[in-house]
Copies of this chain bind each other. A is one copy, B any other.
């Protein structure tokens, strides 16, 4: 009974092993062999062999008491290698820091992965009233593109066909009071981003959270990253904040861009 090989030329064992690693999340930090086997539709013995392999390499470790497995420190190294490989991050670091020092606000450096934004650097603002999301967002966090300032900056300059294909795969879920849930409205705003070179997020990701972002463009013109400042709620009009912070943000983005290849 020749089971149709789902993908030819790919390594099944490697796929399965990595699926095991991915099964561990902050919500489910410890898993047993049987749990894993059920979840991935494998036999326990097969699962055990993969887990044993991962454990012997330090990617998993076993809890002595419960006999369940947790992610090991080696996985951290992998992730950290990824971050370190992004030369962009080193270049941008000092500029981000200066941005936060002068504005007082938390600033971020972000790249896009398909429909998500990933934070790759983050400088916290002055101690004081932190927003809820300020705590839950870390370097490495993913947020949707469509309802974040950095996301819009990263989308706005995509070639139209690419953008369309991307947006078709995004559910415009209402995440906060003012999330744009209409595709036309989002497109209009992206047009605005192209005109002004700035993107805003006015309570679209989380209530009481505003943000302004600027794209970082490589020599080729492609937008490779974006920076933003997160602004805790204030009675000020968004347009005032934009005219106050926008130029600084763009200047910083451009300084970073000139050092990007």
The answer to whether A10 and B53 have CB atoms under 8 Å apart is yes
A247 at the interface (CB under 8 A from B): no
The answer to whether A78 and B77 have CB atoms under 8 Å apart is no
What's the minimum C-beta distance from A15 to chain B, rounded to whole angstroms?
Answer: 6
The CB with the most chain B CB atoms within 10 A, among A75, A81, A118, is that of A81
Closest to A100 in B: B127
A63 at the interface (CB under 8 A from B): no
Selected A-B contacts with CB under 8 Å, 20 pairs: A9-B52, A11-B13, A11-B17, A11-B50, A11-B53, A13-B13, A13-B14, A14-B14, A14-B17, A15-B57, A24-B85, A26-B85, A71-B81, A75-B81, A76-B79, A77-B79, A79-B80, A79-B140, A80-B141, A83-B140
Binding site for B on A (CB under 8 A): 7, 9-18, 21-22, 24-26, 29, 49-50, 52-54, 56-59, 70-73, 75-87, 93, 97, 101, 111, 113, 118, 120, 123-124, 127, 135, 138-142
When chains A and B are docked, how far (Å) is the Cα of A101 from the Cα of B127?
A: 7
When chains A and B are docked, how far (Å) is the Cα of A70 from the Cα of B7?
A: 22
When chains A and B are docked, how far (Å) is the Cα of A143 from the Cα of B52?
A: 27
The CB with the most chain B CB atoms within 10 A, among A25, A77, A138, A141, is that of A77
When chains A and B are docked, how far (Å) is the Cα of A81 from the Cα of B84?
A: 17
| Chain B residues, CB < 8 A from A24 | 81-82, 85
| Chain B residues, CB < 8 A from A57 | 15, 18
Kindly list 15 other residue pairs between chains A and B, CB separation below 8 angstroms, not including A17-B18, A75-B78, A83-B140.
Answer: A14-B14, A14-B50, A22-B78, A25-B84, A26-B81, A29-B87, A58-B113, A71-B82, A71-B85, A73-B82, A76-B82, A77-B79, A77-B142, A80-B139, A83-B138
| Chain B residues, CB < 8 A from A53 | 10-11, 14-15
What's the minimum C-beta distance from A181 to chain B, rounded to whole angstroms?
Answer: 26
The answer to whether B17 and A56 have CB atoms under 8 Å apart is no
| Chain B residues, CB < 8 A from A101 | 127
| Chain B residues, CB < 8 A from A84 | 25-26, 29
The answer to whether B80 and A49 have CB atoms under 8 Å apart is no
A82-B82 CB under 8 A given contacts A11-B17, A49-B9, A123-B124: no
What's the minimum C-beta distance from A226 to chain B, rounded to whole angstroms?
Answer: 15
| Chain B residues, CB < 8 A from A142 | 77
Closest to A94 in B: B135
